[in-house]
Amino acid sequence: MQQIDIHTHQLKKEEHIQILNIFAQDLPVVRQNHLFSAGIHPWHIETVKVDKCLQEIERATQLKNMIAIGECGLDRSVSTSFALQELYFRAQIQIAHTAVKPLIIHCVRAYSELLKLKKETRAEIPWIIHGFRGNQQTAQSLVRHGFFLSVGEQFLNDQSKQNALQTIPPEQLFLETDDRKISVGSVYQKAALALKIDEEELTEIIFNTFKKVFGNQQEEKTGNQPLSTPNTKH
Ligand SMILES: [Zn+2]
């Protein structure tokens, strides 16, 4: 059973499944033998050619190893107009919906807007919030609305987030290294300890969620082949 890094900014030399985040402005990528997601980060909206980025994301959805749209989303901590952020987030939700791929979401202080958007667009694709840092109440309502929450080292180290962590059912939890130079194994260790679940069991639960969330699209496109392990060696 393999561990999964749902969101990383650099490929690690480890034998686990990892989804490399690629910013849309860096598309198209040439050597694509690993799983990746691509999206327009809300921080980049004002500095990239957004329409070209959207086209590139759309084109990339044809690739079998492009397994999610994102990171994309909403961020109240930056000066970029919120309306503009929402506009391009909606465009990416649409792409994800059409391509039937999950969303990997960056969300800072905009959880209620995110909930509203999910209800309104009714896009029946998995919504995964990466780098979740909200409180227990937020976790509760996101879980209730079917979101998957991915947490990293920072969240797990924060004692004040313990209640929020316990609120997330392991079946709706993912783990990630994001932009940190750490191993996903250490994140699994921390999470298992905090959740008082055996690490192997947690690995299995998350692996099953991964298959459920990302497996369908692969089956559709490759004719029922099991989800393949990406080659992480370059
Ligand atoms: Zn990230």
* 26/230: higher pLDDT: 26
Give the domains, in start order, of the chain with CATH numbers. 4-219 (3.20.20.140)
pLDDT for res 227: 40
Residue 170 — φ and ψ, nearest 5°?
-55, -25
CA 27 to centroid of ligand 1, rounded, Å: 16
CA 168 to centroid of ligand 1, rounded, Å: 20
- Report the 10 Å Cβ neighbour count for 115: 17
CA 223 to centroid of ligand 1, rounded, Å: 31
103 backbone φψ class: left, alpha, beta (φ>0; ψ -120 to 50):
beta
- Report the 10 Å Cβ neighbour count for 102: 22
110, amino acid identity = A
Helices 82-99 & 111-121 angle (0-180, nearest 10):
40
Helix (H, G, I), strand (E, B) or coil at 71: strand
Strand pairing report for 4-8 and 17-23: parallel
Strand pairing report for 17-23 and 173-175: unpaired
Per residue in 65-103, pLDDT (tens digit) is: 999 999 999 999 999 999 999 999 999 999 999 999 999
CB 103 within 8 A of CB 128: yes
CA 75 to centroid of ligand 1, rounded, Å: 13
The two structure tokens encoding residue 54: 């959207």
CA 67 to centroid of ligand 1, rounded, Å: 16
Q: What is the pTM of this model?
A: 0.91
Mean pLDDT within 58-64 = 95
pLDDT for res 217: 57
Per residue in 173-223, pLDDT (tens digit) is: 999 999 999 999 999 999 999 999 999 999 999 999 999 999 865 444 433
CA 188 to centroid of ligand 1, rounded, Å: 18
CA distances from 172 to 127, 143, 163 (A): 10, 7, 15
As a whole number of angstroms, the distance between CA 193 and CA 209 comes to: 20
Tokens 């799983």 belong to 35
Q: Tell me how far the alpha carbon of residue 167 is from its chain's centroid.
A: 19
CB 9 within 8 A of CB 35: no
Q: Tell me how far the alpha carbon of residue 129 is from its chain's centroid.
A: 6
Closest to 88 in 3D by CA, of 58, 54, 116, 55 = 54
pLDDT for res 105: 98
